[in-house]
Homo-oligomer: A and B are copies of this chain.
Amino acid sequence: MSKGRPPSERMTLFDPVREDLLRVQETLRRSSVVEQFPMLANMLDHVLDFGGKHMRPGITLLCSKFAPCDAGPPVLMATAVELLHIATLVHDDTIDKANMRRGRPTVSTLWGKDVAVLLGDYVFAKSATYVCDTGDVRVIRRFAETIMALSSGELQEYLSTFDASQTLEQYYRRIDDKTASLFTIASESGGMLAGLPEGPVDALRRYGHNLGMAYQVVDDLLDFEGDEEVVGKPVGSDLRQGVMTLPAILFRDRYAEDRSLAEAMEAKGEAAAVGGAVAKIRQSPVLAEARRTAEGFAAKAQAALREMPESESRRSLGALTEYVLARKR
């Protein structure tokens, strides 16, 4: 069985659902087939080939393995979760004015912002058709609520740029909406489609939520402490775009007398001012504090997992928590 298996980390983590994940990839490939509209098919091919880690669909599949069930609905749902992730990337790249995504030009770069808006809408709707095909109205409604949370989270981020006064509470709500909500639907839908009772479904929901929170806090940390070569974008990108993340908020609260962060915000992300604030934050203990916060979320995810029966899937989900903390990009 293990012969010919690619040696990547992903394949190790997702071994228990390897076959299902291949079916998801196959379904994704078929999603770009649009009769009578070759240009749209072309654009879909481009965005579907972002070549992500398929972490979110992997979570859905692993969570569906806690009870014997037809793999069909979880495969459809996992496909929907990945497509939803792609749709948000297409719209986010438009708003962040990003030119590249995972080494490929973004839709906005290739075809303009207007096309990116409409293509994103199409992919949102396409993802919803796969959720509909699961036939589970509760899951479909949670999926729609997740799209509301995702757009609300992005809106909160957009409207709070260069606002140095935002609270920790606002930060947590924002990253819950813009990031953790997708991990939450990924995990809970797997359990729901496997027909688990509400207790275990809720445990999986808390697992996904806390994993997603850890994921975003690590993301925000990497923007300060990461190696530019590995992360693939310059250190301090968030501050340059006016986004106050956990390290910045902690620094402001711990060092009220230090003006460097306020100056970076007032200078609207001007490079020298941002560089000054980044240097100060890197030298301070707030990065270690932020890392402890990420570890705290990961520990809560692990605690939720312990409510589930011991199994190969549970071990994979546990290892994923470690992977999220350890990742360098």
Point out residues on A near B: beta carbons under 8 Å: 34, 36-37, 39-40, 91, 94-95, 113-115, 117-122, 124-126, 128-129, 132-133, 135, 137, 140-141, 144-148, 150-152, 154-156, 158-159, 173
Contacts and interface: CB of A to CB of B under 8 A. Distances in A.
Given A132-B140, A147-B128, A94 B117 contact: yes
How many copies of the polypeptide does the oligomer hold?
2
Nearest to A131: B144
B114 A152 contact: no
A125 B137 contact: no
A114 B129 contact: no
A292 B114 CA distance: 34
17 contacts: A39-B159, A91-B118, A94-B114, A95-B118, A117-B117, A118-B155, A119-B151, A119-B155, A120-B121, A121-B121, A121-B151, A122-B152, A125-B145, A129-B148, A132-B137, A133-B141, A140-B140
Contacts of A145: 125, 129
Contacts of A159: 39, 115
Contacts of A152: 34, 37, 40, 122
A91 B121 contact: yes
